[in-house]
Amino acid sequence: MSEPEIARRCTACGVSVRQHAMFCPQCGNPIADTAPTQALDSVPRPPTPRPSEDGVRARVEKLQKFSSVVIDQAGYDPSLRFLLVAAALFLLFLVLLILSKVIG
C-alpha cells in the first residue's frame, strides 16, 4: 500500500502538509524535515537557493487573499452562471441532435 501524500502537520498552525513540502501552505513557515523517506535519500538533489521567509510569507498571504476574493465572487457572478447555463444547453442540443440522427 502506498504512503499517504499528506502525512505531516505544520508545527506553527497545525494544518496538514504534503510529505515533501518545504513550506506550510497556510502560514508560510518552513517545515522541518523530521522523517526523510528512503526514496528521496537515494536520489542526489542539486542545491537549491532558499528564498527569504518574509518574501514567501508575503506571497502566500497575497495568494490567499486573492484566491478567497475570487472564490467569494464566483457565486455572485452572473456572467459565470450564464456561461454554465449556455454550456449545459449546448450539450443538451448535441445529445438531442445525436439522438435524432440515431433514431431518425
How many Å is the maximal CA-CA distance in the chain? 67
Walking along the chain (104 residues) 10 residues at a time, the average pLDDT comes out as 66 80 82 55 57 74 77 70 88 96 88
pLDDT at residue 75, as a whole number: 67
CA–CA gap between residue 51 and residue 71 (Å, rounded)? 28
pLDDT at residue 71, as a whole number: 61
CA–CA gap between residue 87 and residue 96 (Å, rounded)? 14
- Domain match, 15 and 56 both: no
CA–CA gap between residue 64 and residue 60 (Å, rounded)? 6
- Domain match, 9 and 38 both: yes
Domain assignment of residue 22, given as a range? 1-49
Whether the model pTM is above 0.75: no
Does residue 49 contact residue 82 with C-beta atoms inside 8 Å?
no
pLDDT at residue 99, as a whole number: 95
C-alpha cell at 58: 508575503
Number of domains the chain is built from: 2
pLDDT at residue 22, as a whole number: 80
- Domain match, 37 and 8 both: yes
- Domain match, 41 and 23 both: yes
